[in-house]
Amino acid sequence: MGKWQRVKYQPVLPLGKDGRRVTGCKEHIALSRKAAGEGMVLIKNEKECLPLAGGARVALFGKGTIDYVKGGGGSGDVTVAYIRNLYEGMKIKEAEGKVSLLHELPEFYSREMKKQYQAGAVPGMTTEPELPAELLEKAKAFTDTAVVTVCRFSGEGWDRKCEINDEGYELFEDEKKQIELSAKIFENGDFCLTNSEAALIETVKENFANVIVVMNVGGMVDTTWFKDCDRISSVLMAWQGGMEGGLAMADVLCGDVNPSGKLVDTYAASLEDYPSTENFHESVHYVDYTEDIYVGYRYFETLPGAAEKVNYPFGYGLSYTDFDIRTIEAGERDGKIRLQVKVTNTGKRAGKEVVQVYYGAPQGKLGKPARALAAYAKTRLLQAGESQIMSLSFEISSMASYDDLGKVCMSAYVLEPGEYVFYVGNNVRDAGKIDYIYRINEVIVTEQLSRQGAPHKLSKRLLADGSYEELPVDEPTEEPGLIRQDKRKLEGYMPGAREQQMVSFMELKEAGRPQLLDVAEGKLTLDEFVSQLSDEDLIHLIGGQPNTGVANTFGMGNLPEYGVPNVMTADGPAGLRIVPECGVNTTAWPCATLLACTWDTQLVEEIGAAGAKEVKENNIGIWLTPAVNIHRSPLCGRNFEYYSEDPLVAGETGAAMVRGIQSMHVGASVKHFACNNKETNRKDSDSRVSERALREIYLKAFEIIVKKSDPYTIMSSYNLINGVQASENKEILTEILRGEWGYKGMVTTDWWTHGEHYRETKAGNDIKMANGYPKRVKEALEKGYITRAEIAVCAKRILEMILKID
């Protein structure tokens, strides 16, 4: 197929073998099921209640048996041919002779959920029905083993346990609807059980000897109610497992899949134990990141008294077998710490293990987390008694800390003198200290940078000993420019279609306009091509373009007279999102949190490639995924779409996804750059964060992805970062992203930001989506607030991106 034939002419030609379509194909659905099983985390299994014994009689309790949530809402939703819930998965196992079910129970829940769906409810936003006494008695007579499923839905644009203080903030209609509905259904906040769920679980505990809990959730939830409860034997964090999640749950419960997932977040005893909770809802206009670098396990493993607040530590997860992890060699070579670790399956079942390496740096003048993840790797499937030697390594410079106050060396990454120790194991808490120590005698500056993205209004931050230090406060300034637009004119507008003058074919031929294909074929340089475009042409390029085909998130490019195709975009991240009315069913992959819990970058890369094939087959060139924001707080409503509290896990998982996507010459769009950790008032909320935490925690995953996978595009976030709209933040988008990291790709805004188009362009945000504001940019150009050169460099980067796409 020729260059851009798909994007220009829309031939939906199959990419599969023998002329079959790959979109929503059985191979991709099987891969989704496999990934779901790999990422589910068994966090409790007393009395070896799991796996279920062959032929076991099982009673399925809870609306979640039927009310399965495949993934989150908003951009994470996917149109699919079917969704398989736990009951449907267990029926397949029953047909295979592995379990026996009391069907009257799930049939009751099915009728109840049908009523609620018909009344307008969506999966996960339903109420737990009261269990009829006669059904309970039948279940008790049938078996002593009960499986209770709890489900949760999360979505874009609203947070969990929402609180809106009256500060003149007007809710959007969707926000208001979701907040009111959430408060009605989840009277204790959806982090905790509802009263009706708690009542059901108490009933089940009182009547059954073996109680298994399945959590169909998108992220962190309350775990205290089952952790120390001796009446609950087993708990499976099944997450939101995509379209085959119910069958994948059944695979794990029945032992067809040995769980090998590990937690990518710390599970504390209560919501209030997370340092981010205190000020999460302090204001709709800002969030103070006062916990600084002490996010997740960096807080709980470091701060005095915090360790005992943890129910389940970062990296934790059980298996149906046992493993011995032994470090056989460790040392430094060529600027890297290198380890050889032997993993032996000492149990009776085949299984996989994750080796995790942590370092502990000297506290020095800057203060450090007690432990930080340095490297990890997952074994192959090891048979009982089998061993595998794992080679792990990481740069010594990756242990450096950023000095943003000049305590050691201003605006530099430094390794402070002292002993650097290492821990190896299968979670942060149980990782054992090894004998090898790396010693530094004097300060080493690993990278000298300059002050960028520093806070103006963050007055204090947490230190390793639990005290706070004061930070300088000042007033941010803004360059002169046009009077800012009314924000109401920045919401939900469709891109305008550019008028094309009536012209004959002969006139076009005689005009001899350069074509972008000439650049692709090496007949013309891109600079030569751009130099022949008018100001109006350049301004047209830096705004979003109308939809074509099955796309519904608009396009980029679209200068047909110059042969520039209109390259379509599509939402992710849980699959190619095509609206139902198009009649195209795609594959729904497990949510991002689950994928990260696999700790298997090779598997994630495989999913990226498979998803990109579906994107490409439907004539779309840019897939708006992965989302790699940090799980700063359990309260963020969009955590299901993000990977982890740890920037290394988020970065490595995201980098694998990008590699897979771009192996198909489809552009990935890594989002949301950066500090998009709250959905309430997300377009105007200011994330106030220290420069150190910004660099070490919130930008780090993006840095890893840029340096390892070179994404075609990055998406800036809605929020402000230290008083400046992320999409207008030159220090972040140009000085750090391009100047320090060497990024050569293109930056897009998120859709309908509240940033000014021309200011975004000046900052290095190449295109405004979903639509541009050409008249505003032209006015700014005429008044000297922006130059043609600044517009041209953005247009050029858009064209460079288009040239990479087939």
Task: Indicate which residues carry an active-site annotation.
Answer: 750
Pairwise CA distance, residues 373 & 463, whole Å? 19
Residue type, position 548, single letter: T
Greatest C-alpha distance within the chain: 88
Q: Which residues contact 767 (CB under 8 A, 6 or more apart)?
A: 541, 542, 543, 544, 556, 746, 747, 748, 749, 794, 798
Beta bridge mates, 627: 671
Residue type, position 599, single letter: W
Which residue, among 667, 672, 673, has the nearest Cα to 745 in the 3D structure? 667
Q: Residue 800 burial by CB count (10 A; 0-12/13-18/19+): exposed, middle or buried?
A: middle
Pairwise CA distance, residues 582 & 585, whole Å? 9
Residue type, position 792, single letter: A
3-class DSSP string for 122-150: CCCCCCCCCCCHHHHHHHHHHCCEEEEEE
Pairwise CA distance, residues 714 & 749, whole Å? 8
β-sheet with 56-61: strand ranges across: 41-45, 234-237, 210-216, 145-151, 56-61, 99-101
- Nearest 5°: phi and psi at 668? -85, 155
CA angle centred on 518, ends 512 and 524, rounded to 5°: 90
168: left (phi over 0), alpha (psi -120 to 50) or beta: left
Q: In this structure, is the dihedral angle defined by the CA atoms of residues 520, 605, 151 and 135, taken in order, positive or negative?
A: positive
Pairwise CA distance, residues 197 & 370, whole Å? 38
Pairwise CA distance, residues 542 & 528, whole Å? 18
Which residue, among 190, 216, 233, has the nearest Cα to 36 in the 3D structure? 216
β-sheet with 564-571: strand ranges across: 555-559, 564-571, 622-624, 667-673, 713-716, 746-748
Pairwise CA distance, residues 465 & 599, whole Å? 31
